[in-house]
């Protein structure tokens, strides 16, 4: 890893998606966005859902991430997330279909309503990012 670079490690339960240098990162924490640059103070944070933006000398990459944890230690940024999808790989039509079905579904309990609301929020965010 060269000086002035971050080393991003992006991990889901299934596999390590990325382990590469980056100039800067932006991603959602549960209470707002955070930007990470080289020489940042150490931190641990709980991830929200939304867009992970990776800027490097080879360009910019964007992923949809869904919860988990982020750790910054030295120049290494570890993002452990439930799900990470490159924005170009998101199937908009499938999301629209799932969102339509879900909004028509009637939730019978408070727990069902909470789960439905959370899923609708995530689907809407994925659609927004995929546009």
What are the structural domain ranges in the chain? 6-87, 91-130
pLDDT tops 60 at residue 1 = no
Q: pTM score, two decimals?
A: 0.87
pLDDT tops 80 at residue 2 = no
3-state secondary structure of 124: helix
Q: pLDDT digits over 53-69, tens only?
A: 999 999 999 999 999 99
What percent of the chain has pLDDT above 70? Answer: 98
User: How far is Cα 123 from Cα 121, in angstroms, rounded to an integer?
Assistant: 6
- Distances in Å between the Cα of 65 and the Cα atoms of 3, 9, 53, 93, 106 are 27, 13, 10, 19, 27
Q: Per CATH, which fold does 6-87 belong to?
A: ATP Synthase; domain 1 (2.60.15)
CB atoms within 10 A of CB 44: 10
CB atoms within 10 A of CB 94: 9
Closest to 59 in 3D by CA, of 34, 84, 22, 85: 22
What residues are paired with 103 via a beta bridge? none
């Amino acid at each position: 890893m060269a000086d002035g670079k971050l080393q991003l490690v992006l991990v889901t339960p299934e596999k390590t998606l990325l382990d590469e240098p980056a100039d800067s990162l932006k991603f959602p924490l549960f209470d707002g966005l955070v930007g990470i640059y080289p020489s940042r103070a150490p931190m641990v944070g709980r991830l929200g859902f939304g867009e992970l933006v990776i800027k490097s000398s080879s360009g910019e990459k964007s992923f949809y991430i869904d919860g988990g944890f982020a750790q910054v230690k030295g120049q290494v940024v570890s993002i452990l997330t439930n799900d990470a999808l490159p924005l170009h790989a998101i199937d908009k039509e499938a999301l629209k279909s799932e969102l339509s079905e879900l909004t028509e579904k009637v939730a019978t309990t408070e727990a069902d309503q909470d789960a439905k609301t959370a899923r609708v929020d995530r689907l809407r965010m994925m659609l927004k990012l995929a546009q």
